[in-house]
Amino acid sequence: MNNDINISGNSDLNANLWLKFKSGDAAAFGELAQVHYRALYNYATKFSSDPEFIRDCIQELYLELWERRSFLSETAFVKSYLLKALRHKLIKESVRLKRFKEPKELSFDADEADLSIESLIIENEHLKHQIKRLNQIVSHLTKRQQEIIYLRFYQNLENEDIAQIMSLGRQSVANLLYRTIKEIKDIWMPAEFFWGLIIIAFC
């Protein structure tokens, strides 16, 4: 398991921060919460398009950790644990809020708005084209496949963490990921050697 205790990248700083948090230092709590805030927010936007709702959920998630700080181990602030907890909360809260309507199960659903290639700050036409194509391929994947691609390549999580978050077996994740990547590759023509790309990447 990716029980990377080193939450923020610098272990000395981290140990210190952790002790402060445990002793009830609210500022230390804020620093810990900041480490994965964006990752959490980004993940939540794939389930809800309501920023206010997302902020409330993340706030609640962190404040619950704060309330239980004396019983927590550092793993509570590990990215994959936070993502999993947030996923649960988003689903639970949205069911509660919509209690008058049909409770619909939340699912991973990234904004399907067409990727405007013009917004890319990449000058290279070939690269732009490839990115657009890849995006089209990804958008035709199932929601589960999209989520797995997202967790693996956007959030950069290990298979084991993905299994945790998506409540799947480890082997299922490995299979699904393998299948998904293969599906992508089959459609996605191998990129020709393109020196320009390398130059752009350096800029």
Partner 1 sequence: MINYRNYSVEEFATDEKFRQWILDPSGEIILFWENWLIQNPDRHNAVNQATELLLSVHERYKDDLSEESIQAEINAMVEIAEFSKNKNRLSFLNNPFWRIAAIITLISGLGYFYNRNHLAEKTEVASYASMLVKRNITDKEMTVLLSDGSVATLKKGSTLRFPNKFSGDTRKVFLTGEAFFDVTKNPTKPFLVFANETVTKVLGTSFRIKAPEGANTVMVFVKTGKVSVYPKKEYETLADEDDHEVSGVILHPNQQVVFNKKENRLEKGIVENPDLLSESAQSQELIFDDQPVAEVLRTLEKMYGIAILFDEESLSKCPISTIFKEENLKQRMNAICQAIGATYEVVDGQIILNSKGCSH
Piece of the chain touching partner 1 by CB under 8 A; list 45-53, 74-82, 84-92, 164-172: 45-53
Q: For residues 151 and 159, what is the distance between their CA atoms, to the nearest angstrom?
A: 9
Piece of the chain touching partner 1 by CB under 8 A; list 12-20, 76-84, 168-176, 194-202: 194-202
Q: Which is nearer to partner 1, 14 or 146 (CB)?
A: 146
Cβ pair 43, 155 in contact under 8 A:
yes
What tokens appear for 59 in the block?
Answer: 């706030």
By CB under 8 A, tell whether 77 contacts partner 1.
no
Query: DSSP secondary structure string, 19-47?
Result: HHHHTT-HHHHHHHHHHTHHHHHHHHHTT
Q: Give the distance from CA 34 to its chain's centroid.
A: 15
Piece of the chain touching partner 1 by CB under 8 A; list 10-18, 34-42, 74-82, 168-176: 34-42
Cβ pair 173, 148 in contact under 8 A:
yes
Q: Give the distance from CA 174 to its chain's centroid.
A: 18
Instruction: Output the furthest CA–CA distance in the chain (Å, rounded).
Output: 58
How many residues interact with partner 1 (rule CB under 8 A)?
Answer: 53
Piece of the chain touching partner 1 by CB under 8 A; list 10-18, 19-27, 74-82, 161-169: 19-27
Residues at the contact surface with partner 1, assessed by CB under 8 A: 24, 26-27, 29-30, 33-34, 37-38, 41-42, 45-46, 52, 55, 58-59, 62-63, 66-67, 70, 97, 99-101, 110, 115, 120, 122, 127, 130-132, 134-135, 138, 149-150, 152-154, 156, 181, 188, 190-191, 193-194, 197-198, 201-202
